[in-house]
Amino acid sequence: MPSFRMSRRQAIRVGTVGLLGGLSLPRLLQFQAQAAGAKGAKAKSCIFLFLEGGPSTIDMWDMKPDAAAEVRGPYKPVKTNVNGTFICEHLPNCAKIADKYTILRNHSHNDNGHTTGYHYVMTGVKADFADGTNSRKPNNVLYPSIGSVVSKELGHTDTLPPYINLPHPLTAGGPGFHGAEHAPFVIEGDPVSPDFEVRDLVPVEGIDSKRQDRRKRLLSGLDTPASSAAAPTGKAGTMATYYEKAHDLMTSAAARKAFDIKSEPAKLREAYGHTTLGQCALLSRRLVEAGCRFVGTDHSGWDTHFTCFPSLEKDLIPSVDKAFSALVTDLADRGLLDSTLVVMMGEMGRTPKVNAQAGRDHWSMTQSVLFAGGGIKPGLVIGATDKNSVAPLADPVSVEDILCTLFHQMGIDSTKIYNTPLGRPVPIVNGGRVLTDLVG
Amino acid sequence: MTKPTVALLLTLLFGSAPAHAAVRVTPTAVTLDSPEASQQLLVTLDTADGTRTAKYEVANPAIAAVDASGRITPKGEGKTEVVVKHGTDTVRVSVEVTGLKSPRPVSFEQEVIPILTKASCNSGGCHGKAEGQGGLKLSVFGFDPAADFQALVTEGRGRRVFPAAPQNSLFLLKAAGRTPHGGGKKIDQDGHRYQRLLRWIQEGTQFATAKAPAVTALEVEPTQKTLALNGTQQLRVTAIYADGTRRCVTAESEYDSNAATIAGADGRGLVSAGDKPGEAAILVRYMGNVTVCRITLPRPGVKFPRPAEANFVDKHVWDKLERLGIPPSDLADDATFMRRVFLDTIGTLPTAAEASAFLADAAPNKREKLIDALLARPEYADLWALKWSDILKVDKDAVTPQGAVAMTRWVRRQIAENRPYDQFVRDIVTARGSTAADGPAAIYKSLSTPEIAARSMSQVFLGVRIECAQCHHHPSEKWAQDDYWALAGMFSGVNRKPLPGGAEAVVWTVGADLGPVPKGKAKPKKGVTPIPVNGVPAAPLGAEPKEFAPSDDRRKVLADWMTAPDNPYFATAIANRLWAHYLGRGLVEPIDDIRATNPASNEPLLAALTAHLRERKYDLRALTKTILMSRTYQLSSTAKDGNATDEQNFSHASVKPMAAEVLLDSVSQLTGAPEKFNGWPEGYRAIQVWDNRMPSYFFRIFGRPVRYSVCECERGTDPSIAQALHLMNSPEIAAKVQARSGAARKLADSDKKPAAIVDDLFLAALSRRPTDAERAKFLEAFTDGDRRAAVEDVMWAILNSKEFLYNR
């Protein structure tokens, strides 16, 4: 059941049928949770494109043609299909559909580190570790990431995991205290590569369903709660949870179909761009169609300290141009844009002034963030930065504000309190406001 | 004034100790000698802290003020008293305020820097980072006051301080958030910090003042405290200056907890405990000095019988558990112990035959016999060669395949021969000769510059992470930049000369003193050692420099210093590393970050292990046996009431993930289908493969390290859905389970009864026989007559059980 959302009333009706047989109780509870969670929601799903390293949005969405040469950089702004909105000349496809998304130019925060900034954006909580010390592993051991919160609040729709990472784990995309159950399912593999597949989803030939059932029964004879290795704590406990998730995934034909990006027409694949970001965006759409709630794509390479303009112009900006424009257009064509919120940002922007190595350094004080679909007002430019994009002119939008707005669109109350394992109450988002300019 | 002295003084004052709970207030006399001075009182009850529950009143509010937390601040010159009431007790504290009318000028170095640090202006995420922030660059944590002074007073076109109208100085406007500031408002305009900064500018921005000597030590009171769950304790921090003066800096100091979930501290030094028993160290920092207050939260009201001690390890562990009120688990049964000790020492699963022989052995000392036998097995050397190759960065791409083979073989032989650890390390540190010959010389291809060699060897062999001192003073240790460069200088003569055939020879040419690149120079290229203008005389960490002739191989002096009996780091670091390997967690964590401000969870135990290793002349096998013989190591991983949440005191064994290579070998052994490694002769096991770059999906998802760093943490141990899917469904695992010559096929084709087959597979995988219920359940697989399928399914289920996949 693609694009399926239940009202409370529907859920209750289904529940009655379920009690008569057909729907199991857990399934019923799940539908009820869904109906409750979806209350007031505009967006069923979110596609989060994370431009890791810090995108140079001053060269993309917030150009300063009147600034000095060392600030404005080599690119020229061009008109878009929205009167008065100008973006970089290297974003021609995005320029044609500026009426379908909104540029927020007054995002600003003060964490200028990569891993700490990533943690801040993904969790809404300032990192308690020094920048760079936790770069190898998902580093939010305590606080859950956006996707894990979505997983916790909205749960599964169909058989796909509610929270998926592409094409590798998001550094700060872990579940924190929500635990393994809400960790991302990571599709490790680059969908642009010809031999891309989600591995090991089905047993080898010859193991029929009868034997699969028997194997599962036998396994349950060993992994008993009484066995200390399967205790719900520690890594073995986490592993037990992952086994359950893996089983869910294996038994779903819809899931396997969703992963099959090769079934997309070549023309559409080309429109998204033959890049990792492009094909991740396309795969994200397929996953969202199949019921995934939150797809996080990590696109690295944006930490352009040195000689930034050649790579921005030839590689980075064009990949965004195609991926973002094709995704928004494709979602709109399929009637999915209203129910799918697309957010594109990184952990920071880049310094207004081009440095001595012809690059731009970290600048979390300003970054433009893109929003599309999911009930946001399209075709706008919200906020502005000063003449050199050093700081927002007024009314800076914080990480917390962005998360609040994202959760609001998905029908999640961001003031809801959770207790950490030690019983410390923490809200889903600490403060923040819903950006009324953006969502109306 | 020490506490006993105060108590004595109080006793003298009151004539005799009061019958009810004594209230002690310290200090009893306070002198405040500057407008922003303050003094934290501490009110100590019999067992608890009374500072926040006492009531304070000042006799003459024109002279001083006191807040609810017991902090006294000056108002006007003169003398008065603060009256402290707690319950029925009253204590009077005399207060003298001086220096308000003509205050001692504010010293930038002594008084402004700490304010910048406390407000995190100079933190690594803000103005302290290498490129500064918004044009203002400060030294990280204020370790270079002269540069910071320059930055604030003379750079920025002089706008930052504005003596004509001090309150309009950009510096103050930004700090107080009166003008847009990326960091927001950092300092309260009504607070004493702002007042001090303002006065500093009013007085003409003096760098140092004659009357302000350097801080030489920091004292925290109390230094350790046992708190009830959710209890609190006010700390007092006193700076001791070179001239002996003492000044309360409680409000100026910074506080960090190493276990914030157990206890944390706020900016005023109030420690708040959580509701989970355990221990935390509160790190206190002021002006480059650090000290620690230890907080212990026992489980209330727990008593347990103290198990017998197998050796000194148990004594220290039980002592600690008693103090915390955490009972130890029971002894692990023979099967669990056996499987654990096999996997830990030789990275190899016991076979079914080994398991049944051990279970049947009635000898009372059979565990000791097994430990001795395992430590003599060749796989012991394989496993530890693998482990050392990881941490010594034996990366094929960096050291060449020949170098990787040479090093792996050499390390393996040292382990097999049980070479004393001090000699092993000496050989590595002073390595020379061909990088392709049997020996450790290739390490200098991986540790390719003096700086990389210095910081890597320091981290691996001393447990000292000196890396941050390359650019600035270590934030939580005494190490300064000079220490870093002095150590790097010990490696400065290491060079590599090409040999015929593509290998290189590591040689010592000319030693030089190294130092940081002078300011203002462009950053050097990666891998190129900059030539310093003023080199720091080479020396081991914290040791006195020596005179070296250029041709002297300084590494020999370094090795002498490292392995000397009084070296404070060397033996401790390896003792902690071994402990962490066998117990699943270091006494110090992370295991290679040993410093006063990161104390061991059981310091007497770590000291005893260290002493034991020295006594045994760095015999690693002897130390290993001591650890393995302890009851602590042999405890069950099954938690007991009251110890389930304990993670750092070794009250129960930890369930450890297997290394990727060990797991693959275990799967291969159980299935009887050895892994064939591409390009390798048959019969090699994963733990013997020196090629860390060999492509393998299995190794990747199970976290094989790329040997990029010397940190053991590089080895990933987190589970994932991908791992579960791979073990359940992958063609690779299926091929093993179904292999023609594999164990499942052999059992199916044998004339064994199904019950015997199930028993055999349990023994081979889990080193135990099934329970009756398990056997009955697994026999169900045999009811449909297809024996091959039945055996495969039984094997598949056991292979996917958490009991198999983890070392418990």
Contact A239 B797 (CB under 8 A): no
Q: Measure A99 CA to nearest chain B CA, in Å.
A: 32
Which chain A residues are Cβ-neighbours of B805 within 8 angstroms? 229, 236, 239
Contact A250 B728 (CB under 8 A): yes
Contact A238 B719 (CB under 8 A): yes
**A245 closest CB neighbour out of B131, B721, B730:** B721
- Over the stretch B611-658, which tens digit does the pLDDT of each residue have? 999 999 999 999 999 999 999 999 999 988 888 878 889 999 999 999
Which chain B residues are Cβ-neighbours of A161 within 8 angstroms? 721
- Over the stretch A390-405, which tens digit does the pLDDT of each residue have? 999 999 999 999 999 9
On the question of pLDDT at B18 being above 50, the answer is no
Residue A210 has, within 13 A of its CA and on its CB side, a CA count of 6
Nearest CA in chain B to A356: B522
Contact B125 A249 (CB under 8 A): no
- Complex ipTM, two decimals? 0.76
Which chain A residues are Cβ-neighbours of B264 within 8 angstroms? none
Contact A422 B274 (CB under 8 A): yes
Residue A437 has, within 13 A of its CA and on its CB side, a CA count of 16
- Over the stretch B25-53, which tens digit does the pLDDT of each residue have? 999 999 998 888 999 999 999 878 999 99
Instruction: Write out the H or E segment, with its range, that includes residue A10.
Output: helix A8-20
Instruction: Write out the H or E segment, with its range, that includes residue A244.
Output: helix A234-250
Contact B781 A235 (CB under 8 A): no
Nearest CA in chain A to B776: A221
Q: Count the neighbouring beta carbons within 10 Å of the beta carbon of residue B324.
A: 22
Report A:158-197 residues touching B (Cβ under 8 A).
Answer: 161, 180, 185-186, 188
User: Which tokens go with B586?
Assistant: 């270091």
Give dist(CA B709, CA B706) in Å, integer: 8
Report the percentage of chain A scoring pLDDT > 90: 64
- Over the stretch B376-397, which tens digit does the pLDDT of each residue have? 999 999 999 999 999 999 998 8
- Which pLDDT belongs to residue B216? 85
3-state secondary structure of B43: strand
Which chain A residues are Cβ-neighbours of B657 within 8 angstroms? 235-236
- B733 in Cβ contact with B664 (< 8 Å): no
Give dist(CA B618, CA B615) in Å, integer: 8
Give dist(CA A182, CA A123) in Å, integer: 14
Which chain A residues are Cβ-neighbours of B722 within 8 angstroms? 186, 188, 199-200
User: CB of A29 within 8 Å of any CB in chain B?
Assistant: no
Which chain B residues are Cβ-neighbours of A201 within 8 angstroms? 725, 729
**A201 closest CB neighbour out of B723, B725, B803:** B725
- Over the stretch A332-379, which tens digit does the pLDDT of each residue have? 999 999 999 999 999 999 999 999 989 999 999 999 999 999 999 999
Nearest CA in chain B to A229: B803
**B803 closest CB neighbour out of A200, A201, A229:** A229
- Which pLDDT belongs to residue B735? 96
Give dist(CA B148, CA B117) in Å, integer: 12
- Over the stretch A137-188, which tens digit does the pLDDT of each residue have? 445 667 899 999 999 999 876 678 899 999 988 989 988 888 777 888 889 8
Q: Measure B720 CA to nearest chain A CA, in Å.
A: 6
On the question of pLDDT at A5 being above 60, the answer is no
Contact A243 B260 (CB under 8 A): no
Which chain B residues are Cβ-neighbours of A233 within 8 angstroms? 644
Give dist(CA B680, CA B668) in Å, integer: 16
List the helix and strand counts (H, then E) for chain B.
28, 24
Q: Measure A207 CA to nearest chain B CA, in Å.
A: 9
Contact B726 A214 (CB under 8 A): no
- Bigger pLDDT: B779 vs A177: B779
**B806 closest CB neighbour out of A211, A221, A236:** A236
User: CB of A225 within 8 Å of any CB in chain B?
Assistant: no
**B734 closest CB neighbour out of A110, A204, A227:** A204
- A120 in Cβ contact with A134 (< 8 Å): no
- Which pLDDT belongs to residue A437? 94
On the question of pLDDT at A3 being above 50, the answer is no
Contact B806 A188 (CB under 8 A): no
User: CB of A424 within 8 Å of any CB in chain B?
Assistant: yes
Which chain A residues are Cβ-neighbours of B777 within 8 angstroms? 217-218, 221
Q: Measure B802 CA to nearest chain A CA, in Å.
A: 6
- Which pLDDT belongs to residue B214? 79
3-state secondary structure of A165: strand
3-state secondary structure of A185: strand
User: CB of A260 within 8 Å of any CB in chain B?
Assistant: no
**A242 closest CB neighbour out of B721, B773, B801:** B721
What domains are defined for chain A?
44-196+261-427 (3.40.720.10), 204-250 (no CATH)
Name which of B172, B160, B170 is nearest B198 in CA terms: B172
Q: Measure A334 CA to nearest chain B CA, in Å.
A: 31
Place of tokens 């609190």: B232
- Which pLDDT belongs to residue B13? 45
- Which pLDDT belongs to residue B515? 84
Report A:92-121 residues touching B (Cβ under 8 A).
Answer: 108, 110-113, 116
- B554 in Cβ contact with B545 (< 8 Å): no
Q: What φ, ψ does residue B429 adopt, rounded to 5°?
A: -60, -40
User: CB of A4 within 8 Å of any CB in chain B?
Assistant: no
Q: Measure B191 CA to nearest chain A CA, in Å.
A: 24
- Over the stretch B75-103, which tens digit does the pLDDT of each residue have? 999 999 999 999 899 999 999 999 898 88
Nearest CA in chain A to B796: A215
**A130 closest CB neighbour out of B124, B655, B657:** B124
Nearest CA in chain B to A396: B182
The CA–CA distances, whole Å, from B458 to B453, B515, B581 equal 8, 17, 20
Nearest CA in chain A to B779: A218
Contact B808 A113 (CB under 8 A): no
User: CB of A227 within 8 Å of any CB in chain B?
Assistant: yes
**Per-residue burial over B632-651, b = 16 or more CB atoms within 10 Å of its CB, e = otherwise:** bbbbbbbbbebbeebbbbbb
Mutate to test the interface with B, among A213, A239, A351, A422 (most CBs of B within 10 A): A239
Contact A203 B734 (CB under 8 A): yes
User: CB of A391 within 8 Å of any CB in chain B?
Assistant: yes
According to DSSP, the β-strands at B64-66 and B71-74 are: antiparallel
- Which pLDDT belongs to residue B143? 76
Q: Measure B182 CA to nearest chain A CA, in Å.
A: 6
Q: Count the neighbouring beta carbons within 10 Å of the beta carbon of residue B624.
A: 23
- Over the stretch B588-598, which tens digit does the pLDDT of each residue have? 988 888 887 78
Which chain B residues are Cβ-neighbours of A182 within 8 angstroms? none
- Over the stretch A190-213, which tens digit does the pLDDT of each residue have? 999 998 988 888 888 889 989 999
- Which pLDDT belongs to residue A386? 96
